[in-house]
């Protein structure tokens, strides 16, 4: 009987020892598993919050400048600085075909083949059409005027104006041949057919051609040492094709 009790006690002791070992092993394993978890939980998170992500979004199109800052009406600079035709010896209403800038860029190198400027004014000589009794020009056709200067300039004109002035006392119309020409220009073609499209009836008869600079055509306002003297002596006759024009010598009308 005693041996059975001893055996039972021994078995119970073994069972308790085995349970104790299993318990210790389980506790130890649980402790090891908890260590990485606690370590990882102690690290600060690096993941940005949704509030910080919202600040990284690109700016909306509302910051783009609107078209309202663009000038709505672009104005072209006026020609108010262009010298007027007030110096023309008439109230001519005929527009000029000249597109030459009014501010001359010419220098005396342009006139290098001419004598140097001196005490005398610079004179203009119109060489074509040649001055003659029968200097007849048909209305509605082109007339090409060519001229020369007597010398270089001490003061180069800013521009040249050309006006045709009829001698008929009944005419109240003078004709702007050209305006704002560069003084280096020594030839110009006048298209007299332009007046027909403007319902302007050019008068027949004798005309005087005026060539002058920005100071005007009046002799008292022009000239001077090395400065342009206005040309006011060249004459020609305008006629309408088909009309009776008296001729002298053997000259014949070509139109």
- pLDDT score, position 137: 94
Tell me: the pLDDT tens digits for 11-54? Answer: 888 888 787 777 767 676 666 665 544 434 444 444 444 443 34
**Running DSSP on this structure, what letter comes out for residue 89?**
S
The strand order across the sheet containing 231-239 reads 136-138, 231-239, 205-212, 160-166, 175-181
Tell me the pLDDT of the chain (255 aa) as tens digits: 777 887 888 888 888 878 777 776 767 666 666 554 443 444 444 444 444 334 434 444 444 444 444 334 433 334 433 334 434 444 444 444 443 444 455 666 778 889 898 899 999 999 999 988 779 999 999 999 999 999 999 999 999 999 999 987 666 789 999 999 999 999 999 999 998 888 888 989 999 999 999 999 887 777 889 999 999 999 999 999 877 665 543 334 444
Tell me: the pLDDT tens digits for 61-77? Answer: 444 444 444 334 433 33
pTM above 0.75, yes or no: no
Please name which of 123, 184, 191 lies closest in space to residue 159, comparing C-alpha atoms. Answer: 184
- Are 162 and 186 within 8 A, CB to CB? no
- pLDDT score, position 105: 53
**CATH architecture label of 108-239:** Sandwich (2.60)
The strand order across the sheet containing 142-149 reads 124-128, 142-149, 187-191
- Count other C-beta atoms under 10 Å from residue 188's C-beta: 19
Mapped onto helix, strand or coil, the DSSP state of residue 228 is strand
Rg, C-alpha atoms of the chain: 53
């Amino acid at each position: 009987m005693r041996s059975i009790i001893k055996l039972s006690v021994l078995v119970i002791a073994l069972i308790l020892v085995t349970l104790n070992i299993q318990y210790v092993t389980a506790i130890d394993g649980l402790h090891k598993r908890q260590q990485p978890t606690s370590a990882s939980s102690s690290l600060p998170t690096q993941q940005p919050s949704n509030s910080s992500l919202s600040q990284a979004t690109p700016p909306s199109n509302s910051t783009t400048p609107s078209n309202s800052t663009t000038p709505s009406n672009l104005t072209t600079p006026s020609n108010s600085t262009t010298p007027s035709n007030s110096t023309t010896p008439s109230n001519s209403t005929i527009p000029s075909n000249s597109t030459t800038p009014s501010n001359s860029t010419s220098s005396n190198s342009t006139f290098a083949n001419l004598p140097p400027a001196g005490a005398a004014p610079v004179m203009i000589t119109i060489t074509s059409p040649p001055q003659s009794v029968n200097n007849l020009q048909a209305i509605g056709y082109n007339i090409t005027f060519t001229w020369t200067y007597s010398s270089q300039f001490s003061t180069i004109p800013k521009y040249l104006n050309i006006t045709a002035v009829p001698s008929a006392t009944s005419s109240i119309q003078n004709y702007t041949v050209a305006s704002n020409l560069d003084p280096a220009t020594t030839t110009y073609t006048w298209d007299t057919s332009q007046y027909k499209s403007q319902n302007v009836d050019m008068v027949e008869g004798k005309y005087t051609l005026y060539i002058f600079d920005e100071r005007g055509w009046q002799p008292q306002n022009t000239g001077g040492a090395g400065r342009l003297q206005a040309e006011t002596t060249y004459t020609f006759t305008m006629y309408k094709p088909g009309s009776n024009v008296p001729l002298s010598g053997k000259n014949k009308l070509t139109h």
